[in-house]
Structure 1
């Protein structure tokens, strides 16, 4: 990638992965370093990342993301790596700020970290997809996550076999204004 904008435009949500090609551990580590470098309110870093790359366990995690009734997420078993994002408690200043400003800073911060994950994955030549639809109770039990913690997202990583799609975005005039709404 030559520029950040090119990287952002190239990244897409991939739903087909090369199941025969594992993701190299050094790439996962660089992606996680990028995630840990993400900004957070009051530097709380309210996240925990669980890398699920054991084939049996990642298939069980994939089962927790799919729904037969709604026909959702049946592609998730193709991804060789799942990174499960767990919401951790904020530090005191971020927690107080969340209450005073009525904003969920921990969830905002986790979203920023996930953006770092998917962009770092694209930079490493990997495809990714952010999954928010899953059985949280099942995922928590499967990965030994305490009941006091929320499982926010599951990010799939792997070598994509999908063609690059042109991004469909709203016109700038619909989403951007200067100096007033």
Structure 2
């Protein structure tokens, strides 16, 4: 698929078929995340691939009981492993760096026919306990990963005129 088509057609998937994810596809998806840019090329990320049924169910509970998370064949937990880069000299770059890599992962998955759903509603301490993540590492995002039962309908997007200003900020 052309990149523009991948971006336009991607949807958040919450119902997955039970078939396992092809290992080669999973590696290519993780490779796309690995190749993401980061501040100072620090690459402050680690991706935990969870296939264990019990752990996936615990993760679903840690994601505010969103059961569909645990029903996917794979759950990926994106973590920030380090600090050091800054944006605008006031904000640490690690959450954005991991988000960029996670976006690469999600788009690469869609290109392989795999659905994802960016999960930001989770109890970080519970996720850390389930995945044995050290205290200094931060959980940034979680996604279930699998073949969609069906592709959801597109959601309404704001027009370019509403989100783009020329030269200066305009409300």
The TM tier, using the shorter chain, reads: over 0.9
Aligned pairs for 1:111-126 within 5 A:
111-126=99-114
The answer to whether the aligner puts 1:56 opposite 2:54 as a matched pair is yes
Q: Distance in 1 between matches of 2:125 and 2:115?
A: 27
Residue equivalent to 1:9: 8
Q: Distance in 1 between matches of 2:52 and 2:40?
A: 34
Match among 76, 82, 92 for residue 83 of structure 1? 76
How far residue 34 of structure 1 moved from its aligned partner, in angstroms, is 0.3
Match among 9, 13, 28 for residue 30 of structure 1? 28
How far residue 50 of structure 1 moved from its aligned partner, in angstroms, is 0.4
TM-score (norm 2): 0.92
The answer to which of 162-171 and 37-46 deviates more is 162-171
TM-score (norm 1): 0.87
Match among 19, 32, 41 for residue 21 of structure 1? 19
Task: Give ranges in structure 1 of 5+ residues lacking alignment.
Answer: 68-72
Residue equivalent to 2:120: 132
How far residue 135 of structure 1 moved from its aligned partner, in angstroms, is 1.5
The answer to which of 127-136 and 155-164 deviates more is 155-164
The answer to which of 101-110 and 162-171 deviates more is 162-171
Q: Distance in 1 between matches of 2:58 and 2:152?
A: 29
| Equivalent residues of 2:53, 2:70 under 8 A apart | no
Aligned pairs for 1:88-167 within 5 A:
88-90=81-83, 92=84, 94=85, 97-98=86-87, 101-167=89-155
CA RMSD of aligned residues (A): 1.5
Residue equivalent to 1:70: none
